[in-house]
Amino acid sequence: MQMHTIHSTLLAALLLLAPAAFMAQADEVEKVLFLVVEKDDVIASNTRSGRFDRLDLQAKERIRDYKVSNAVAVVVTNQRLVAYGVQAGGWQATRIEAGERVERIEVEDYSATVVTNDRILNFYGRSGAWSHVRRGVQLR
């Protein structure tokens, strides 16, 4: 009789937890973006759309760093920050300002944040839009 009660309790607990586990998996962004990075060449492999998008580097532009997540990537060069979002498609750039140094890059799902010595920049991969705020500014 006790074994039946234990099995019933375990079954009830599993049935209660199953929807939460399913919801957590449903919110996860699948891995659909890969970067192929060589000395002076970056190609975004967007498996969601079946596209391969090459990042065209400008004269004397060099890759300094990069990060990639499931659906967004950021490439730092000596001249600009360039991001790729699988839904927006294509590379979107913003210039690095004179004297600006990248301190940290974070990428996750569709979002990226780049922290420099002067600014905090966000990139949203669904819309392909960059936004920024100066550091030291009080945010509300």
pLDDT value, residue 17? 61
pTM of the model: 0.78
The single-letter code of the amino acid at 119 is: R
CA distance 76 to 55: 12
Give residue 66's pLDDT.
Answer: 98
For residue 49, the model assigns a pLDDT of: 93
Please provide the DSSP assignment of 117-135 as one string.
SSEEEEEETTTTEEEEEET
Position 90 scores a pLDDT of 93
* Cβ contact 91:83 at 8 Å: yes
Q: What is the pLDDT of residue 24?
A: 44
Side-by-side strand order, sheet with 119-124: 102-108, 111-116, 119-124, 129-134
C-alpha to C-alpha distance for 11 and 52, rounded to whole angstroms: 47
Q: Mean pLDDT of residues grouped by 10 in the chain (140 residues)? A: 59 56 60 92 95 95 97 98 95 97 97 98 97 79
The residue among 97, 107, 103, 123 whose CA lies nearest residue 115 is: 103
Query: What is the Cα–Cα distance from 25 to 100, expressed in whole angstroms?
Result: 39
